Chains A and B, each alone.
Chain A
Amino acid sequence: MGYTGEIEALLQILAAGLLLGCLYGLMCAGLGLIFGIMRVINFAQGDFMMLAMYFGLTGVALFAPGRSWAFATAMAVACAAALVFYGLGALTHWALVSRVSGARAVDTADAGHTGQLILTLGLSLVLQNGGLMLFGSSPVSIPSDAGTQSWTLELLGGDIMLFINQARAFSALMAVAAVLLAILLMTRTGIGRQLRAVASNPIAALYMGVNVDRAFRTAFGIGLALTAIAGVCVATFYPFQAYSGFDFVIIMYAGVVLGGMGSVGGAFLGGLIIGLVQQLSTLVLPAQLQNTAVFVVFLAVLLIRPQGLFGRSVERA
């Protein structure tokens, strides 16, 4: 095979890294948005994603006419999941998160961080164990033909063959579309302006007539909606159960910090980089060290650019 083999391996793994990285990016964008605007570290983000996976599975079981339509149905369910999880996020914020963040936490010594930590960790445990009781312990996934089929690309007269998984490819496109919409929402709409104002200086935003509590609720809802889309997409090719959220939450945090806190686009790129590093590292390192490679890069970025690759090193006012 010679160099052709090496090039094939590089291109194949690059493609895998890009496809997976887009989904990581979408997960990170959701978490990054919540952290960037509210300064709340949501440890339950992965578990909300797990709920979205089951939402996707149930939606496909109810509405897909057959296995061949399962993936298309899953994409439609992912859009519905965005709306449902926006509502769930707003409700969770209203009922729980608002008690330890925003105006109520201003007077506390640590700006509510301890309360937020305990609340979101507690929520995570409730969701995991509630999920186990409700959905059982068997790993499941959305059974679709796209999940096991790939397109074959032949390059250099067939010397190089690339296999692109259909479910991952469409999911990556969906992820890019969702992030672009989120960026447009943040930069081109009145809601986005309010969210950015609240993120920059909540007290000044309050004086300017912005309903900070409502803006936080919106941010929490959008953050969960983005992660829910990622969850349904992942469920089309990845077997999951009630504890699967934990598999992704570390990646989400690494992506958000790597990309730069407070930037939706930065968080997406952070996730994308993590996907690429995780896969490309296997070209030179044993597969066992995939995640080690991710965290070596993560630490290196923190050393050289503590504010993250695309973050700003400005103190919040």
Chain B
Amino acid sequence: MTTITRRGLLGTALAMPAIVHGTARAQSAPIRLALLAPLSGPFARQGELMRTGATLAVEDVNRNGGIKALGGATLELVIADAGANVEQVTSAAQRLAADRELLAGMGAWASSFTLAATEVTERAKLPWITLSWADTITARGFHYVLASSPPSSRIIPAALEPLLALAGKVAGKKPSTIACINDDTAVNQANMKPLREGGFEKLGLKTVMDENFSVPLSDATPLIQRLRRARPDLVLLGTTATSDSRLLLQTLTEFGLGQGKVPVIAPSANFGTPEMLKNMGANYLEGVIGVAGNWTSKRQAALNADLMKRSGEPWLIQDTLSLYGHVALIADALERAGKADRDALMAALLATDTTEGPARFFLGERLRFEKNGRRADAVPAVFQWKNGKPLTVLPEADAEAELSWPRPG
């Protein structure tokens, strides 16, 4: 027989609020997701686009009843500023890692930022999803990092191969020389590594110029002067900052090499931003080809229209689309995991294999991940400026327009 003592009754009474609170919390406590993005400094615009994508996705998940497997728990975004350099990113990641209530995180845009941030989040066993490209992000043997974009080593060939084939058909002669101007950030150096190590040769291209510069560029004249003397058939511009992209394109135009006279390929999402159009004007951008980790798809016209309306952006780019997709992917994995636990969530994320749900927010058909966390079958998005809009031209299943050989305007 159980004896009820005065002391036992008092103890139970004292413990009741905690028990009730704990139960309520398990049923409906919001799921906290971190977003680490540059919201100040020279890359603040990219961070703002990421925040827009993540915020809209969280709104949609919550409006549709939250995570049903967790009793309708809502998602809550914890936003941290990655700032302008690796030191600031690391410090912000450390603050996030100290928050044990966080279930997963996303960010931090530039590959160098992501490499630094994930060094911290991996130790905290915090599942992390990024749109960054550099191959090294998923080549370090980490267990809590997923990358939704194709790796750097596949980004440039994705645009070059079809473009060279097209040039052979349309212009009658395949380009044989290329000039490369890249900033010295991790992603652009990672993009170039396989090409420098025999990649260009395999494509039948001879490098007549290969220059790197430090961000920000004060004047592009020395670089474009050198490029003019090198007389390449193709130009590759790898930039991180919109201001550098604009300076390079502007100086190409000044030197009579712009507006399609020498085809430009830019493995940088910033070449497709609305501010590029605002700063340069449509005629200076016509024909410029960009490559990114994600872009709009003709198959998702209705979703894109809705997101554009709600975000106020004239069109959507990688940063907004991928972050929308990352939140959708986490929500989908939580439904499958059935509990708010980091390890269970990570296992569910890695087990993702779908052509529905979150797969709709990325180019290509299927969404699944390799063991190292890199998205399997990820296809680079190739876009081309046509009449003042950067339209997806590859992959064909998602293309909004056909890839065309740039013609002098």
Name A residues whose Cβ lies closer than 8 Å to a Cβ of B: 1, 5, 8-9, 12-13, 16, 20, 67, 128-129, 132, 136-141, 143, 147-150, 152, 163, 165, 237-244, 247, 278-279, 282-283, 286-288, 290-291
Q: From B231, which residue of chain A is reached at the shortest CB distance?
A: A1
Q: Chain A contacts of B254 at CB under 8 A?
A: 148-150, 163, 165
A161 CB to nearest chain B CB (Å) = 9
Q: Are B184 and A288 in contact (CB under 8 A)?
A: yes
Q: Are A12 and B225 in contact (CB under 8 A)?
A: yes
- Say yes or no for B214: interface residue by CB 8 A criterion: yes
User: How far apart are the CA atoms of A247 and B214 in the complex, in Å?
Assistant: 12
User: How far apart are the CA atoms of A61 and B59 in the complex, in Å?
Assistant: 36
Task: Pick the residue among B45, B246, B247, B280 that contacts A137 (CB under 8 A).
Answer: B45
Q: Are B246 and A141 in contact (CB under 8 A)?
A: yes
Q: Chain B contacts of A20 at CB under 8 A?
A: 218-219
Q: Are A13 and B250 in contact (CB under 8 A)?
A: no
Q: Are B221 and A247 in contact (CB under 8 A)?
A: no
B250 CB to nearest chain A CB (Å) = 5
Task: Pick the residue among B41, B214, B250 that contacts A243 (CB under 8 A).
Answer: B41
- Which has the most chain B C-beta neighbours within 10 Å: A139, A150, A243, A286? A139
Q: Chain B contacts of A16 at CB under 8 A?
A: 219, 221-222
Q: Count residues of B near A (Cβ-Cβ below 8 Å).
A: 41
Top 3 nearest A-B pairs (CB, nearest first) are A137-B44, A282-B222, A16-B221
Task: Pick the residue among B48, B229, B280 that contacts A1 (CB under 8 A).
Answer: B229
Q: Chain B contacts of A12 at CB under 8 A?
A: 221, 225
Q: From A248, which residue of chain B is reached at the shortest CB distance?
A: B218
Q: Chain A contacts of B278 at CB under 8 A?
A: 138, 140, 143
Q: Chain B contacts of A288 at CB under 8 A?
A: 184, 212-214
Task: Pick the residue among A5, A13, A138, A237 that contacts B45 (CB under 8 A).
Answer: A138
Q: Are A287 and B222 in contact (CB under 8 A)?
A: yes
Q: Chain A contacts of B222 at CB under 8 A?
A: 13, 16, 279, 282-283, 287
B134 CB to nearest chain A CB (Å) = 19
A249 CB to nearest chain B CB (Å) = 13
Q: Chain A contacts of B39 at CB under 8 A?
A: 137
Q: How many A-B residue pairs have C-beta atoms within 8 angstroms? Tell me.
A: 113
Q: Are A241 and B45 in contact (CB under 8 A)?
A: yes
- Say yes or no for B68: interface residue by CB 8 A criterion: no
In the complex with contacts A148-B284, A165-B254, A279-B221, A139-B212 CB distance below 8 A: no
B190 CB to nearest chain A CB (Å) = 16
A262 CB to nearest chain B CB (Å) = 26
Q: From B275, which residue of chain A is reached at the shortest CB distance?
A: A138
Q: Are B219 and A141 in contact (CB under 8 A)?
A: no
Q: Are B247 and A239 in contact (CB under 8 A)?
A: yes
A12 CB to nearest chain B CB (Å) = 5
Task: Pick the residue among A132, A243, A279 that contacts B219 (CB under 8 A).
Answer: A279
Q: From B41, which residue of chain A is reached at the shortest CB distance?
A: A243
Q: Are B216 and A247 in contact (CB under 8 A)?
A: yes
- Say yes or no for B65: interface residue by CB 8 A criterion: no
Task: Pick the residue among A9, A67, A149, A165 that contacts B229 (CB under 8 A).
Answer: A9
- Which has the most chain A C-beta neighbours within 10 Å: B184, B221, B280? B221
- Say yes or no for B299: interface residue by CB 8 A criterion: no
Q: From A242, which residue of chain B is reached at the shortest CB distance?
A: B44
B228 CB to nearest chain A CB (Å) = 9
User: How far apart are the CA atoms of A20 and B217 in the complex, in Å?
Assistant: 12
Q: Are B226 and A163 in contact (CB under 8 A)?
A: no
Interface residues of B in 199-214 (CB under 8 A from A): 211-214
- Say yes or no for B176: interface residue by CB 8 A criterion: no
A-B contact pairs, 10 of them (CB 8 A): A9-B229, A136-B48, A137-B44, A140-B278, A147-B250, A148-B281, A241-B45, A243-B44, A278-B218, A279-B221
- Say yes or no for B304: interface residue by CB 8 A criterion: no
Q: Are B246 and A9 in contact (CB under 8 A)?
A: no
User: How far apart are the CA atoms of A282 and B217 in the complex, in Å?
Assistant: 12
B231 CB to nearest chain A CB (Å) = 10
User: How far apart are the CA atoms of A118 and B123 in the complex, in Å?
Assistant: 37
User: How far apart are the CA atoms of A5 and B184 in the complex, in Å?
Assistant: 27
B247-291 interface mask toward A, CB cutoff 8 Å, 1 = contact, 0 = none? Answer: 100110111100000000000000000110011110010000000
- Say yes or no for B42: interface residue by CB 8 A criterion: yes
Q: Are A137 and B225 in contact (CB under 8 A)?
A: no
Q: Chain B contacts of A287 at CB under 8 A?
A: 211-214, 222-223
A6 CB to nearest chain B CB (Å) = 10
B313 CB to nearest chain A CB (Å) = 11
Q: Chain A contacts of B226 at CB under 8 A?
A: 9, 282
User: How far apart are the CA atoms of A291 and B241 in the complex, in Å?
Assistant: 18
- Say yes or no for B355: interface residue by CB 8 A criterion: no
- Say yes or no for B242: interface residue by CB 8 A criterion: yes
Task: Pick the residue among A139, A237, A244, A290 that contacts B250 (CB under 8 A).
Answer: A237
User: How far apart are the CA atoms of A252 and B375 in the complex, in Å?
Assistant: 46
Q: Chain A contacts of B223 at CB under 8 A?
A: 282, 287
Task: Pick the residue among A128, A137, A141, A143 that contacts B48 (CB under 8 A).
Answer: A137
Q: Chain B contacts of A13 at CB under 8 A?
A: 221-222, 225
Q: Are A240 and B229 in contact (CB under 8 A)?
A: no
Q: Chain A contacts of B251 at CB under 8 A?
A: 165
User: How far apart are the CA atoms of A20 and B220 in the complex, in Å?
Assistant: 11
B225 CB to nearest chain A CB (Å) = 5
Q: Chain B contacts of A290 at CB under 8 A?
A: 213-214, 218
Q: Are B255 and A150 in contact (CB under 8 A)?
A: yes
In the complex with contacts A9-B229, A137-B47, A238-B242 CB distance below 8 A: no
